[in-house]
Amino acid sequence: MSTSRETILAALHARLSTLPATALRGEVLPERVPAEGLLILRDGEPGDPEVTLSPLRYHYQHRAEIEAVIQGADRDAAFDTLTASIGTALAADRTLGGLCDWVEAKAPRPVDLAVEGAASLKAATIAVVLHYSTDDPLS
């Protein structure tokens, strides 16, 4: 049986998989970036929970990260389209089917990366905060 944390991260990955870009989870950056772009979900850090005692609940603001990567000649426009599609996908269901109390993305921090002998990459890390509660910090 999966933990709440794993179930939520799997649901987030499934949501990202509906986008035209290739969505991976916890993988290294491959040698080739697909033309539609690449998304790599990093599990991130759940942080220290707030605790309520009656009933005992652990309230997390888990910070996962999405690495968004575009390669090609028109990468600025493609990057903008990709990041907007992530926002649209998350806004469509802010609770991931009732698994979270709220899901919110932070603004991307883009960088241009030169690649010797190939088109440059435009990449960013997008923090996604997953607000959820559990009855056990290990579940």
| pLDDT value of position 44 | 96
Fold observed for domain 4-46+53-134: STM4215-like (3.30.2000)
| pLDDT value of position 8 | 97
| pLDDT value of position 49 | 96
- Domain borders along the chain are 4-46+53-134
- Record the tokens describing residue 120, joined without a space: 């440059």
| pLDDT value of position 101 | 97
Compute the distance between CA of residue 70 and CA of residue 83 in angstroms, rounded to an integer.
10
| pLDDT value of position 127 | 97
Instruction: Please give the full DSSP string across the chain, using - where no structure is assigned.
Output: ---HHHHHHHHHHHHHHTSSSEEEESPPPPSS--TT-EEEEEEEE--PPEEEETTEEEEEEEEEEEEEEEESTTHHHHHHHHHHHHHHHHHT-TTTTTT-SEEEEPPPEEEEE--TTS--EEEEEEEEEEEEEESSTT-
| pLDDT value of position 29 | 86
| pLDDT value of position 67 | 96
pTM of the full structure: 0.93
Q: Residue 39: exposed, middle, or buried by beta-carbon count in 10 A (0-12, 13-18, 19+)?
A: buried
Inter-residue contact 103 to 131 (CB < 8 Å): yes
Degrees (nearest 5) of the Cα angle 58, 60, 61? 165
pLDDT single digits (tens) 18-51: 999 999 999 998 888 998 999 999 999 999 999 9
| pLDDT value of position 66 | 97
Q: Which residues of the chain have pLDDT under 70?
A: none
